[in-house]
């Protein structure tokens, strides 16, 4: 659907046909939250909901970008990208030089650090829910990275493009995220998750076996919106950096569960709990991968639940709506459930028996209605392909 919408928008914008269309998916993280910027381990999937960019070159040195998010196109001269994004992280968004949505595609072009041989017309459309913790931003970055890689002959690998997407998000937009979103979006495979070491950037594609076992992944979007460029996300990252300094290690990745007793003696209560989440979450990722390989997907439920408890109590990034979604799904028979994404809103996921998917959706909706919450947006996601050219 996003391909047709992007092509239509491109024709309306330019009066011509695009040279091509590139798309990248959103992602749902099975387990491993906030571990990426601590150089730890993550285990996400690419989902079938995608963002598409229909693109063609232009000769006047201007990048014009339009999207279905905003009816007003944004035009920036290629020569102005360095001054636009060369200041403090996120300053172009903060001072209103560009709307936030446009900073993602423009930021990718800037972050590529390749002298653009041409300008571009770009039309973006997306099926990825915004603000739901499914990384709509990485999907935009992937579509644009794929387009400029092909049209400008940059010869970049998928990991190279993931690094560019992360830089755009960190510096152009000002969101202090790690590389998990981009890597999982760009490298996805059907019915597989990406096991990523965020220090070495080594990846393994791990067979989930959900399709074979008759399991489905339900996303329960609370509709409580969040923004990573503001608020608690940055505070949590700062707490992790403080904890690492006080523990005398480069990153929290360098601590294990055996170090937690010393951490409790060394750190204040809040910093300790932030550290404990990262250390135990890293171990849960490793245990999830091992368990999938040795016992199969029905054995990972307890690890997913323990991850949610850690995010709720130690990292304190859940909200009541997320907690209710998780608890209700588990009561309805889910194998496991947890919030996913950066927190402070967004979505939870549940691994459910496919023949109980509809019943779980009904139960969660009823629980939200009883609590007086906004009706959640619920849908299945299927582990899917990553970045690619569609036209």
Same domain? 41 vs 133: yes
Q: Rounded to a whole number, what is the largest CA-CA distance in the chain?
A: 66
Place of tokens 């996400």: 44
Is 355 among the catalytic positions?
no
Q: Is residue 365 part of a domain?
A: yes
pLDDT in tens, 236-294: 999 999 999 999 999 999 999 999 999 999 999 999 999 999 999 999 999 999 999 99
Same domain? 227 vs 89: no
- Region 116-134 average pLDDT: 88
Same domain? 273 vs 373: yes
Note whether 223 and 322 are within 8 A (CB). no
Same domain? 173 vs 266: no
CATH number at residue 266: 3.30.70.890
Same domain? 230 vs 376: yes
How many domains would you assign to the chain?
Answer: 2
pLDDT at 229 over 50: no
Distance CA 387, CA 152 (A): 17
pLDDT at 71 over 80: no
In 3D space, the residue among 50, 55, 61, 57 whose CA is nearest the CA of residue 10 turns out to be 55
Task: Give the domain-ending residue among 182, 205, 228.
Answer: 205
pTM of the predicted structure, to 2 decimals: 0.90
Instruction: Tell me the C-alpha to C-alpha distance, in Å, between residue 327 and each of 71, 89, 337, 339, 348.
Output: 40, 38, 8, 11, 10
Task: Give the domain-ending residue among 168, 184, 205.
Answer: 205
Catalytic residue among 36, 127, 181, 221: 181
pLDDT class of 234 with cuts at 50, 70, 90: confident
Q: Is residue 390 part of a domain?
A: no
Task: Give the domain-ending residue among 160, 178, 205.
Answer: 205
Q: Is residue 389 part of a domain?
A: no
pLDDT in tens, 6-43: 999 999 999 999 999 999 999 999 999 999 999 999 99
CA 270 to chain CA centroid, Å, is: 26
pLDDT class of 114 with cuts at 50, 70, 90: confident
pLDDT in tens, 246-257: 999 999 999 999
Boundaries of domain holding 231: 215-381
Beta-carbon count within 10 A of 270 CB: 13
């Amino acid at each position: 659907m996003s391909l047709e919408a992007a092509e239509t928008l491109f024709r309306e914008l330019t009066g011509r046909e695009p040279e091509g269309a590139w798309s990248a998916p959103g992602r749902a993280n099975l387990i491993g939250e906030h571990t990426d910027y601590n150089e730890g381990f993550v285990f996400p999937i690419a989902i079938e909901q995608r963002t598409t960019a229909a693109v063609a070159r232009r000769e006047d040195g201007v990048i014009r970008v339009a999207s279905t998010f905003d009816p007003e196109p944004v035009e920036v001269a290629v020569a102005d990208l360095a001054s636009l994004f060369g200041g403090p992280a996120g300053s172009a968004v903060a001072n209103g030089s560009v709307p936030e949505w446009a900073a993602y595609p423009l930021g990718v072009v800037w972050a590529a650090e390749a002298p653009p041989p041409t300008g571009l017309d770009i039309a973006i459309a997306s099926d990825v829910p915004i603000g739901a913790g499914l990384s709509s931003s990485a999907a935009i970055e992937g579509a644009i990275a794929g387009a400029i890689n092909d049209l400008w002959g940059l010869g970049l690998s998928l990991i190279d493009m993931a690094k560019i997407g992360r830089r755009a998000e960190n510096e152009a937009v000002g969101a202090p995220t790690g590389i998990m979103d981009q890597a999982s979006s760009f490298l996805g495979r059907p019915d597989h998750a990406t096991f990523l070491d965020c220090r070495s950037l080594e990846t393994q594609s791990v067979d989930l076996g959900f399709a074979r076992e008759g399991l489905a992944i339900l996303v329960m979007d609370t509709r409580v919106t969040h923004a990573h460029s503001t608020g608690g996300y940055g505070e949590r990252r700062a707490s992790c950096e403080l904890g690492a300094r006080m523990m005398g290690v480069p990153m929290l990745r360098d601590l294990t569960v055996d170090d937690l007793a010393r951490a409790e003696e060394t750190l204040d209560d809040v910093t300790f709990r932030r550290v404990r989440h990262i250390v135990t979450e890293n171990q849960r990722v490793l245990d999830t991968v091992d368990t999938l390989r040795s016992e199969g997907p029905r054995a990972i439920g307890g690890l997913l639940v323990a991850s949610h408890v850690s995010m709720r109590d130690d990292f304190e990034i859940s909200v009541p709506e997320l907690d209710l979604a998780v608890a209700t799904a588990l009561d309805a028979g889910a194998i496991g459930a947890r919030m996913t994404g950066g927190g402070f809103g967004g979505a939870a996921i549940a691994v459910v028996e496919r023949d109980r998917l509809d019943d779980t959706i009904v139960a969660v909706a009823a629980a939200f209605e009883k609590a007086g919450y906004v009706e959640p947006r619920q849908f299945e996601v299927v582990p899917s392909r990553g970045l690619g050219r569609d036209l």
